[in-house]
Structure 1
């Protein structure tokens, strides 16, 4: 049974990305995944302070809720991340988490000296996002950030569910086809992991 971490990056508890992530989590569990859920707005997590103790230990020096999430993410087979778009990137809550994973980047590339792009990414990430406008490049910034975030965790972007013209709380409920797609993606994400021998 694959172990999956699901991260709610919206500042709203009942936001549109949260609703979509709930569907993906339900799909993953229905397919047999062990899913641990984390709501970033409920965690006490400092931004990265560039202490750079991680250069020697490979671990962030700041002792807060990030430490729990760090261990869960590294132990997971896959990660489902959901965030709305704010100024063409992820929410502040999500960006704090990503910046704290600088310690993972340092461990991988400075301490372990992995040549960039050379280690196969066996673990997978699913990204779910919504944006208020219909801009052609609405998700470009977030997708680039998410790809590098997943890479620091030795994950590849498996799929991204991206929905435009979704703004106010509950707007996603007007699109049952998006809800169904998120549920299916959760199931397919789970079945994409190899079965134990």
Structure 2
């Protein structure tokens, strides 16, 4: 069974990035898959305190929803993250979740023992922007997400970058939605 972790970074459900993620997941539907969806805006995740406690044992001292998310990372075979772009980066809620991966980072790079196994994990990101942007305008966001995936021992193997969504909402872009269904199938087959 393939475990898929879907991280919704949008503050608004059912909008562009959520629609694309739902469509991608629909393309990944199979008997041998299990999908866990995380709506970051609905979770209680406090910001990293930069207390350095995790430098001692690779564990975060803050007790909130991140504790179960660390377990979700461990179980995941495929991690898909969808976010709207704000000031050339991920949503604030998603950035808070990413920052709380400092305990995983410190385990890997300070203590030399990753708290998350190094089993094969694939990652895919979906980024949407209301403004007109070229693919290279997403570079800041992709750098943040690439580092996040490296931290959780996942290889960022694909990205979907969609701009100008203020002009055309993705739910009205049939070609894009069809391509997302195909992309979902391709990700699952490529694992």
Structure 1 and Structure 2 fold alike (TM over 0.5): yes
Residue number in structure 1 paired with 2:16 = 16
| Contact 2:133-2:164 at 8 Å conserved across structures | no
1:16-35 alignment to 2 at 5 Å? 16-30=16-30, 32-35=32-35
Moved over 4 A (4+): none
Instruction: Give the paired residue count.
Output: 187
TM-score when scaled to structure 2? Answer: 0.91
Could you tell me how far 1:138 is from its partner in structure 2?
Answer: 2.3
> 1:121·1:156 contact (CA, 8 Å) conserved in 2?
no
Cα root mean square deviation, aligned:
1.8
How far apart are the structure 1 equivalents of 2:104 and 2:96? 14
1:52 aligns with 2:52: yes
Question: How much does 1:25 deviate?
Answer: 1.4
- 1:158-182 per-residue CA deviation (whole Å, 9 max, x = no partner) reads 10011110137x8111211111222
Paired residue secondary structure (1:45): coil
Deviation of 1:43 after TM superposition, in Å, equals: 0.4
> In structure 2, the residue corresponding to 1:19 is in which secondary structure?
helix
On the 8 A contact 1:82/1:129 being kept in 2, the answer is: yes
**Structure 1 unmatched ranges of 5 or more:** 115-119
Aligned-pair CA distance for 1:111: 1.0
Query: Which residue is equivalent to 1:40?
Result: 40
Q: Which ranges in structure 2 are unaligned for 5 or more consecutive residues?
A: none
Q: Which moved more, 1:131-140 or 1:13-22?
A: 131-140
Normalising by structure 1, report the TM-score: 0.89
Quote the offset at 1:121 in angstroms.
Answer: 7.6
Q: Which residue of 1 aligns with 2:100?
A: 100
Q: Which residue of 1 aligns with 2:163?
A: 164
